[in-house]
Chains A and B, each alone.
Chain A
Amino acid sequence: MHKLGDFKLPQFFNYPPYFTLQPVRDTREKQIQLWKELILDYCKSQKVFLIGVEEDFPLFSNSAIDRTLSHEARETFLSAIVGEGRAEWLDKGHRKCLILWHRIQDWADIILKFVRENGLEDSVMTVEEIRSGTESLGTELEGIDRTILMRALKLLENKGKLALFKGTSADDEGVKFSV
């Protein structure tokens, strides 16, 4: 069992102490870094944008060695990712965590690249089309978390690269690019 779906797990995933929050500082520091890398790798390859601390997240338990991360450990590892700006807590209770394997700025750059590559410099699109339209198929934007996409678009709007407007349907917004 060194795979989780099509994700290849490292060997140390079967090392029981990996699942116990280590009390000694140096060891703990290394453990946190290892978890941080593994979570980000996994989320990126599996397009996971949201981790619920209390929900079943495949990485947080290993049935092969019968070990599960404690609540404290999960929060510690996710907080470490938040501390590096690679994730954000969505609530004060630290129950839901938004994972940003690309930072918002990086996502904004990806959108601009996408616009240029598809000749959409002066076009109008809906937000939903960016996530699931034919142009975005097979790109990193396919299936992007809506919260993250909106924040990247707002960042571009502030820079004058586009304008957001309310569309005809109540649940969608339009984007007018002006790159």
Chain B
Amino acid sequence: MKESLSRNVANEPGAEAGLSWRRLVPTQISDLISQFAAAGALIIICIALSIASPVFLTLYNLFNIVSQTAVTAIIALGMTFVIITAGIDLSVGSVAALAGVLGVKMMVDLGLSWPLAVLGGTLVGGLAGLANGLLITRARLAPFIATLGMMSVARGLVNIITGATAVFGVPDSFRLLGQGMIDGVPIPLITLIVLAVAAHLLLSRTRLGRYTYAIGSNEEAARLAGIRVSAYLVAVYVLQGLLAGFGGMVAMSRVASGQPNFGDGLELDVIAAAVIGGCSLFGGQGTILGTLIGAFLMAVIRNGAVLLNIDTFTQSVIIGVIIWLAVIWDQFRRRRFAESTR
């Protein structure tokens, strides 16, 4: 019936009458600017750094930036989904450590091959995400509380399991994941690109992605539209857990050992990447591309600070100011939109 109806209307002359595309332009430009405010900042800083430091624009340095930020960026892909639902996941750093260490132990203690161990570690992260999702939807905990608890639980577990000492003895081949190259391109970069494209498609082209936005924009409307909100929320936190677990494995591969203290404070970098990239903590807004830009903006600033001999404390101040500016910009844009409805 819908089909025939659509066709009927399509056959009518002037099916697009009343839709003037000209009036769209201001909105589109405003959207573009907001989307790429961070991108603009990134480009300007890159240009400035390549002038200020001869080292910056070398392939070696650029790959170095990518390798260092790949883990943050991979986990931030999941955070984009979480924040779009108006949620938050504070446990990603601890979960990455737990998953990474358990993955390493699968190789060291069980003798698993490294690809299987990576899969295992990723699934451990997924389990933690499942627990988060169930705590939020079944026990009705606020995401902040549920994941705050998980942050503590996962960190405690990894220290219990390892006795708070690093796990050594991984096979050499495991280094490939975090340190390897294919035709001179770092494998973490390739991995990140593949995952980012997949995440982008998931977010923009699938039901899961669409419902992620709908739930974050208006959970009750989504429920009344027949969307099983709880199921999709669980899926989003599982996805975040899987990415945190995988990110943990990449991180362990980079140091070729299991580090129980890895990822302390990583959640803040991950959230910052998403927020700088345009995700709204109130939900309903955010893109994968934006989050990637946010992650790289922070990485480039840190890298530039090292090249220009700016100390880490000053770097920290700069990153904080950038977070403020990104969110102030976002709110300014929102206010303008709200007014234009009148």
Tell me whether A and B are bound partners.
no
Binding site for B on A (CB under 8 A): none
Binding site for A on B (CB under 8 A): none
